[in-house]
Structure 1
Amino acid sequence: MSKTFTPADVATHKDASSGLYIIIDDGVYDVTNFVDEHPGGAKILKRVAGKDATKQFWKYHNEGVLKKYGGKLRVGSVAEKAKL
């Protein structure tokens, strides 16, 4: 079962101690354990942690990336549409 988050809930997950969550489209992803594997570097994920990263994600990634990693990183969905 998928958990539902508000953008405010996701905003509380912006550091390693509380977990690094990002929003992409309507999905919420926990990138805490992926940070060191991210080909673009950990700094980029830490910068968008707790936020809607949809715009930044689609600027640099294609749908295949989300298909490859989304399944294991997705922890829920957004209850209300986040503002970009």
Structure 2
Amino acid sequence: MSKSFTKAEVAKHKDEKEGMFIIVDDGVYDVAGFLEEHPGGAKILKRMAGKDATKQFWKYHNQKVLDKYAGKLKVGTVADSAKL
């Protein structure tokens, strides 16, 4: 069972102690343990922590990358928010 997070909850996870969550599409990923492995360096992951990184992710990655790491890094999904 996947945990559901609001965007406000994701925003609280911006450091290695609390976890570094990013959003890609509707998935929530904890990249804190991936900082040293990330080919693009830790800096970009730290900058995007707590935010929706969908646009930036798809600019530099394809579906194969998401498929490869999702099982290891995915911690949940983004809760649906009411649209006004």
TM-score if structure 1 supplies the norm length? 0.93
Please provide the CA RMSD for this pair.
Answer: 0.8
Cα shift at 1:16? 1.2
Alignment correspondent of 2:22:
22
Q: Distance in 2 between matches of 1:18 and 1:71?
A: 20
TM-score if structure 2 supplies the norm length? 0.93
Question: Runs (4+) of structure 1 moved beyond 3 Å?
Answer: none
Look at both structures and tell me which one has the larger radius of gyration over its CA atoms.
2
Please give the secondary structure, in 2, of the residue aligned with 1:33.
helix
Q: How many residues align?
A: 81
Alignment correspondent of 1:62:
62
Q: Distance in 1 between matches of 2:13 and 2:55?
A: 19
Alignment correspondent of 2:5:
5
Alignment correspondent of 1:45:
45
Equivalent AA in structure 1 for residue 22 of structure 2: I
> What 5-or-longer segments of structure 1 have no aligned partner?
none
Q: Distance in 2 between matches of 1:17 and 1:76?
A: 18
